[in-house]
Every structure is written in C-alpha cells, then in structure tokens.
Amino acid sequence: MRILTKIGRIDIAAAVLLCALSAAIGLLAQTNLTGVWILRVPRTDGTFNESFFELKQDGEAIAGTMLGNRETPIADGSFKDGKLHFVVRVGAAGKQQRETAYDGVLDGGKLQMTQTVPGRDPVKSVAERSTREAANPARLPVPDLRDVRDNGLARTPPMGWNSWNLFAGRVDDKTVRGIADAMVSSGMRDAGYVYVNIDDTWEGARDADGNVTGNLKFPDMKGLADYVHSKGLKIGIYSSPGPKTCAGYEGSYGHEAQDAKTYAAWGFDYLKYDWCSASRMYKDEDMQAVYQKMGDALLASGRPVVFSLCQYGRQDVWKWGPQVGGNLWRTTGDISDRWQSMDMLGFRQLDIATYSQPGHVNDPDMLEIGNGGMNGDEYRTHMSLWSMLSAALLAGNDIRNMSEETKSILMNREVIGIDQDPGVRPVKTVSQQGTAVVLAKELSGGAVAIGLFNRGDQPAEISVNWAAAGLTRAIQARDLWKHEAAAAAGPSFTATVPRHGVVLLRASAR
C-alpha cells in the first residue's frame, strides 16, 4: 500500500507538472505576436478604416511590415511585459516623414491599441489576428484584350463638379443636394456644368448578397440620384478596381458587374474608377484588361454611364483609353490648389494633346478655381489652359458660396466654347521663349483659339504671328477675358501679359 500510495503521489505530481508546462506553453503561444493582425479604427460614418500588420517576434524584439499598396517596414518594435510598441514612418527617407506610433496591450488574444500621430488626439481601437489573404486577396484572372464598344457619350469634354478637391472625406448627402441646388441657382447648369460627381468615402459595407451600400453619410443613394436628376442635372459616383479605394473604403474588386448594375439601378450617369489598391493584385501591365472589365460591365448594365479612368497616366493610358470604353483618362498625379502644381500638370499635356478626340479626352485632373490657393490671373490661366487642352471642366470649389470673380471665370461662356468645340482638335505650340508660351487650337468654322501664356514671375510682352498660328489672311480677333475686340492690324499681335497670366483670343479670317 505504501508503495502504491507513493506511486500515486508521483503520478499526481507529474500530472500537475504537465498541466503547468501545458499552461506555460499555451501562455507562450498566446504572447507570441508573430502573424498578420488587422487593426480596425471606427469612422463616424459607420465604416472602419482597416490596416494590416505582419509582425515577427523574436524574444522582446518586434519587426515586420504594414501591408498595403506598398509594404512599409515598422520600426522601434518591442513586446515586453504584455505591452507592444512600434512605429510606422511614411515618406521618402531623408525627407519629412509622417510618423505614427502604435501601442498595444494583449488582452484575451486581442490587442487593445492606441494610435498616436504628433499633433493629433490619440485614437483607440482593437487589433485581431487575420491573414495575408485578407490584406491582399488572391489575384483574379483578367480578360483577354479586345476593344470595348464606344458608349457614344461625352462627345465634348464633360463639365460639372467633383467633391474631392475641397470636401474630400467630408462630403455627404446634404452637401451634394446643396451643390445641385447651387448648380441651378448660380447659373452653372445653364453654362454647361451638368455632372454632380461624388468622389471617395461614400461607400458602406456590402450586404449579405454582396451588393455595395452607402454609409451613414449617404443613406439613400437612389433618392439622392433622383434629387439631382430633378434639377436637370446628372450624377456621378466613384470606385476602384482594387479591394479598397484610395481612402480605404469598399472597392469593386471581384464585384465589377454587380457594382455596375447597382450604380445603374440607383440612376448614376458617371463613374470615376481609381486604380489605388488594385496594385496589390495586379501589375501595371494588367491595367488595360482590368479597366476593360469595368468598361464591359458598364455597357452591360443597360444605363449610359460616362467612364472616367483614373490611374495617373501610367502605361501611356492615352494610347488605349478608348479601347476600354474610357471617355476620359487621367494623365497626371493629383492637382493641388497652387500655381506650381497647376502650371506643371497643365503644360505637361502638350506632348500628348493629339490623343484627345470627340468622346475620348486626356484628363489633367479637376479644377481648383475658387478654392483660394491662387489669384485671379492664375485661375484664368487654369481655365484657359484646360479649355485649350479640351480637358474636362469639373469644378472643385464650393459653388454654394462663390465670389463674383470666381463666377466670372467658371462661367465665361466664350472660354467654355473653346473647351466645348465639337471638333476637339489638339492644341499646338506656336512658340516658346523662356516662360512665354503661345498655343493655338483650330476651332470649328475656321476660327482659331490663341493663348498667350506668361509662366514667369514678372509681367511680359508676348507676341504671336498670325500666320504661325494658322491664319494666313487678314483677321479679326476677340479678347475672351476682356470680352472686347483685340487689335488685329498687321501680321502679328502683341500684349502685355501679367505674371502667371494669360491673354486668350478667338481669331478668324475676315
């Protein structure tokens, strides 16, 4: 009996030891943070901003990357006494970088996180274990290349308004309705501005059937579209061929046909389709096929929808934009409301101007006129240059509250007439001497638009030879900003042009 009792005690002790070892191993497994984690930060519109981190733990050291369009390494990582810390720095090394610190406490297999950006209030959220597939879904096959049928829309460059430049993520149903009202009351609609385009951040979650929905800011997309239509206007929407949009909302990846049908059912007339997170799954060489997929889907939806490609001019989009059903395609990065940005993006278009044609035009991004970052002369240059380029005229300001000067620029019908000329003929460089540039564009009926642009920082005298601009006979000319006749005697014309300013003429043979 004593021997059995002793053996029994040994067995019990061994069992206790095994349990302790098992618990220790389990605890160790729980505190090993190696793997992919998803951090979901709630937004006020009922959606979540999702970030994925792939962590690698070695003792108390934490390394890894922030997953996304680009994998960004984390820095200063540690996990000690149940507390996690790391930093993500975004931006080119050696330049000013945006730094975000992440601090977390492991609790029940989840990380209670605090996200801190200098100068902002800390943001609290929860991180849970996830997978790489959730961060970067499997690549879907792309269709074989072929030409998408022309939709017959936008024979002249689209005109309207877009929410992003001024409102960005603050856009909501009330704002869009107010803009539609102002498009009518201000005279913008009658001047030709007909599209009211909602950019990013309208998207909610998909329902049980996979249909995309609006978020709390946009509770009734069909009702909103009906309201805009009731004003004699058209309405546009935004998405991405990737799983997420640029602002991290729901994209159309794997739901292209379904989303096109949804937009049609709601009554939308315009789609801006922004590359963004598509780069997680596709290479740049896939762009044409990826955009072709949505071009086909829009045609199959049964509703006429203007198709606006937005992939920043990569892969020489101007060479294949029409083949995927595109009515316009971005040829640049994002514009900002400052002279240097507008000047650089606008004049960079001259080399590819020949690719614009009726129904299919280059898009150097939206207008900044009236947003306050440039003066009147610079905004008149903006309007003149975009019109000479046959670019879309999509206002980006708050048209509910416009100064008289802003109205006079955006609603100058003589300048709009240059942009909307049905020939959509390419602008040509007549001469360029330093910062003085003279451009010419043939118009229907034999007239020629001539722009004298001063890109310099001082007023300058700029001349144009009529014959060089394409007018070989005696001519008559009109100054489109002064709304008066311009001196046309002799073989040339000379004007003093203010810094960053323009003189825009419409000239023709007598």
Lowest mean pLDDT among 23-27, 257-261, 384-388: 23-27
Identity of residue 295 = G
What's the confidence (pLDDT) of residue 488? 87
Over residues 341-357, the pLDDT tens digits come to: 999 999 999 999 999 99
Identity of residue 169 = G
Q: What is the mean pLDDT of residues 127-143?
A: 94
What's the confidence (pLDDT) of residue 23? 42
Give the Cα separation of 493 and 440 in Å (integer).
Answer: 13
**443 vs 472, residue with greater confidence:** 443
Highest mean pLDDT among 132-141, 198-207, 276-285: 198-207
**20 vs 115, residue with greater confidence:** 115
Q: What is the mean pLDDT of residues 442-459?
A: 97
What's the confidence (pLDDT) of residue 29? 44
- This prediction has a pTM of 0.91
Residues whose CB is less than 8 angstroms from the CB of residue 346 and which lie 6 or more positions away in sequence, other chains included: 364, 382, 385, 386, 389
Our measurement of the distance from residue 42's CA atom to the centroid of its chain's CA atoms, rounded to an integer in Å, reads: 22
Q: Is the pLDDT of residue 3 over 80?
A: no
What's the confidence (pLDDT) of residue 7? 46
Over residues 215-267, the pLDDT tens digits come to: 999 999 999 999 999 999 999 999 999 999 999 999 999 999 999 999 999 99
List Cα–Cα distances, 460 to 382, 436, 441, 469, 503, in angstroms: 18, 8, 22, 20, 11
What percent of the chain is modeled with pLDDT above 70?
93
Q: Is the pLDDT of residue 25 over 80?
A: no
Which pLDDT band, with edges at 50, 70 and 90, does 473 fall under? confident
Query: Over the chain, what is the mean pLDDT?
Result: 93
What's the confidence (pLDDT) of residue 91? 78
Which pLDDT band, with edges at 50, 70 and 90, does 11 fall under? low
Which pLDDT band, with edges at 50, 70 and 90, does 2 fall under? very low
What's the confidence (pLDDT) of residue 9? 53
Residues forming the active site: 274, 334
List Cα–Cα distances, 275 to 83, 242, 257, 287, 479, in angstroms: 37, 7, 17, 8, 40
Over residues 419-432, the pLDDT tens digits come to: 999 999 999 999 99
Q: Is the pLDDT of residue 95 over 80?
A: no
What's the confidence (pLDDT) of residue 12? 53
Q: DSSP assignment of 406-453, as one string?
A: HHHHHT-HHHHHHHT-TT-PPPEEEEEETTEEEEEEE-GGG-EEEEEE
